[in-house]
Amino acid sequence: MTVREQTEQIEQEILSPWAAKAGSSRGRARPEEDCPLRTIFQRDRDRVIHCKSFRRLKTKTQVFLSPRGDHYRTRLTHTLEVSQIARTIARALRLNEDLTEAIALAHDLGHTPFGHAGERALSEISGGRFKHYRQSLRVVDRLEKEGEGLNLSWEVRNGIVCHTEGKEPYTAEGRIVRVADRIAYINHDIDDAVRAGVMGEEDIPRGITERIGGSKKERITSLICSVVENSHEGVIAMDPDDFEAYDALHEFMYQAVYRNEYAKSEEKKVPHVIERLYKHFCDPACLPEYMQRIAEEDGRETAAMDYVAGMSDLYAVNTYSDLFIPKAWSHN
């Protein structure tokens, strides 16, 4: 037996009946020869980690646009934190940790520069068609490897596109990532908001802190334990009272942070930048060569949206400056 086959056999023996098994995967859109060492889900995880879109997450906004400081979350650190929480839950429930990790690492690959402000701008340009979770799937299917795509397994692709809203993921592992994403971002957004001076931990309503904890560590631990204790037969759930406290915390954050004028003041500049870049790159001649092929095959508007969505915050700002801000010049 190969190492991969041994791993697949171990999965059959020790994982929950509700776990997705690598040996029973629905496979890839384009069949490939099996790896002698890694299962299909392990290979998917590795492909995500090594792709360009994953590296660009390090300079994409999570909540605060262009914050001054080294410790604010980026889309990359958020992704890693989602992965850690999701893997903890998966291991506790004896579900497939490799599949869970692959979905978690890929779930935000389609996020725009400037966080949700960038997503809203592209959504408005597209007439509501642009959604970051759909773009994440498009990244792995179509855009990565200069138009070749990563050819990920069906289970990972399903978890990516279903991680935010709409239909629930088909696998329990995908459903874990969906709840882990919510646990991660609400608590880490609090941490960043406190660091920015937008709010204090003491501002969180007492009823919430009494139920799920008064610190980041306490809340994350409480919510993870709630999921582990209340999930059965592949159904991923929290205790109803914990979920009610989470919902109340989410509403508090909307009022205190997500709609805070001070915290979000720079976002007013985002729609103009995104629109100017989009219009410029609607000319296929302005796109890189592989994106010109995308424009020819999928349409120039789609290719322009793909290219702008893939930019990091810094690259978008620098590109905008190069294209539209007059430069100083001298005559020698």
d(CA 278, CA 243): 40
Lowest mean pLDDT of 44-48, 146-150, 207-211, 253-257, name the range.
253-257
Name the percent of the chain lying above pLDDT 70.
Answer: 96
Query: Could you tell me if residue 331 is inside a domain?
Result: no
pLDDT at 61: 80
pLDDT confidence tier of residue 64, bands split at 50, 70 and 90: low
pLDDT band at 297 (very low <50, low <70, confident <90, very high): very high
Q: Average pLDDT of 89-115?
A: 97
**What value does the mean pLDDT take over residues 246-253?**
96
CA distance 237 to 213: 19
This model's pTM is above 0.85: yes
Both structure tokens of 198: 């937008």
- Residue scoring higher pLDDT (62 or 286): 286
Which carries the bigger pLDDT value, residue 49 or residue 70? 49
Q: Is residue 73 situated within a structural domain?
A: yes
- Amino acid found at 124: E
Q: Give the pLDDT confidence of 303-318 residue by residue, as tens digits.
A: 999 999 999 999 999 9
Q: Which residue has the higher pLDDT, 38 or 266?
A: 38
In a domain, 182, yes or no: yes
Q: What is the pLDDT of residues 210-228, one digit of tens each?
A: 999 999 999 999 999 999 9
Greater pLDDT, 179 or 266 = 179
Question: How confident is the model over 55-65, as a mean pLDDT?
Answer: 82
CA dist., res. 183 & res. 228, Å (int): 13
* CB-based burial label for 210 (10 Å; 0-12, 13-18, 19+): exposed
pLDDT bucket at 192, cuts 50 / 70 / 90? confident
CATH number reported for the structural domain that contains residue 118 in this entry: 1.10.3210.10
Q: Name the domain count of the chain.
A: 1
State the average pLDDT over residues 31-47.
97
Q: How far, in Å, CA of 277 to CA of 259, rounded? A: 26
Is residue 332 assigned to a domain?
A: no
* Cα distance between residue 296 and residue 303, in whole Å: 9
Cα separation values, 270 from 112, 118, 136, 301, Å:
11, 6, 21, 19
Backbone angles phi, psi at 232, to 5 degrees: -145, 140
Provide the residue range defining the domain that includes 203.
3-324
Residue 330 is assigned to a structural domain of this protein: no
Q: What is the pLDDT of residue 139?
A: 98
Within a domain: 10 = yes
